[in-house]
Amino acid sequence: MKNKLLFFTVILLSAITITSCSKDDKTPSDPAQTEQNVQSGTWHVTLYNDSGENKTSNFSGYNFAFNSNGSVSASNGTVTLIGTLSVYSDSGNTKFGLVFQSASGPFEQISEDWRILTQSATKIELVNVSGGNGGTDYLTFEKN
């Protein structure tokens, strides 16, 4: 009887351990694959949530092009902003470092080191926890 009880205890503890493990602390993407994916085609922002406030419309009409030399451009046909992109690993997470030079307003707000939540050839979902106010921001790009 003791052996059966021990067996079921081990099984129960194993099941609890497996189901309680969270993979949201790690990024399931490879920096080289992410760079390859974003360098193809033009992209647009389908979500920008700034600490619970939806500000996606700030990027309405802008097309983003990520280039192999690390530059990025955002253009709405009238205004073109230039920046840089670096994709790298940091403490087991893949980061999407986006910086727009001389940018203000919404482009200054997205100039951050984002953690990649998910990425594919047509969509990349990012998160940033602000060091200043502790808010959580979400940014999603989708290919046109």
- Render 44-80 in DSSP notation, one character per residue: EEEEEEETTEE-GGGGTT-EEEE-TTSEEEEE-SS-E
C-alpha to C-alpha distance for 97 and 85, rounded to whole angstroms: 5
CATH number (domain holding residue 126) = 2.40.128.270
Please indicate, yes or no, if residue 20 is contained in any of the structural domains: no
Please indicate, yes or no, if residue 5 is contained in any of the structural domains: no
Q: Which position has the higher pLDDT, 27 or 55?
A: 55
C-alpha to C-alpha distance for 103 and 109, rounded to whole angstroms: 9
45, two tokens = 């922002």
pLDDT band at 101 (very low <50, low <70, confident <90, very high): confident
Please indicate, yes or no, if residue 96 is contained in any of the structural domains: yes
Please indicate, yes or no, if residue 49 is contained in any of the structural domains: yes
Please indicate, yes or no, if residue 14 is contained in any of the structural domains: no
Is-above-0.85 flag for pTM?
A: no
pLDDT at 104: 81
By residue range, what is the domain housing residue 58?
30-143
pLDDT tens digits for 51-60?
999 999 999 9
Please indicate, yes or no, if residue 15 is contained in any of the structural domains: no
Counted domains in the chain: 1
Residues 90, 102, 119, 61, Cα dihedral to 10°: 170
Please indicate, yes or no, if residue 91 is contained in any of the structural domains: yes
Please indicate, yes or no, if residue 1 is contained in any of the structural domains: no
pLDDT at 1: 54
Q: How many helices (H) and strands (E) does the chain have?
A: 3, 9
Whether the per-residue pLDDT at 17 is higher than 60: the answer is no
> What are the φ and ψ backbone dihedral angles of 79, each rounded to 5 degrees?
-115, 135
Do the Cβ atoms of 124 and 37 come closer than 8 Å?
A: yes
Whether the per-residue pLDDT at 21 is higher than 70: the answer is no
Whether the per-residue pLDDT at 20 is higher than 50: the answer is no
Whether the per-residue pLDDT at 44 is higher than 60: the answer is yes
pLDDT at 141: 98
Whether the per-residue pLDDT at 9 is higher than 90: the answer is no
> Over the chain, what is the mean pLDDT?
84
pLDDT band at 28 (very low <50, low <70, confident <90, very high): low
* Angle CA 48–53–55, to nearest 5: 40
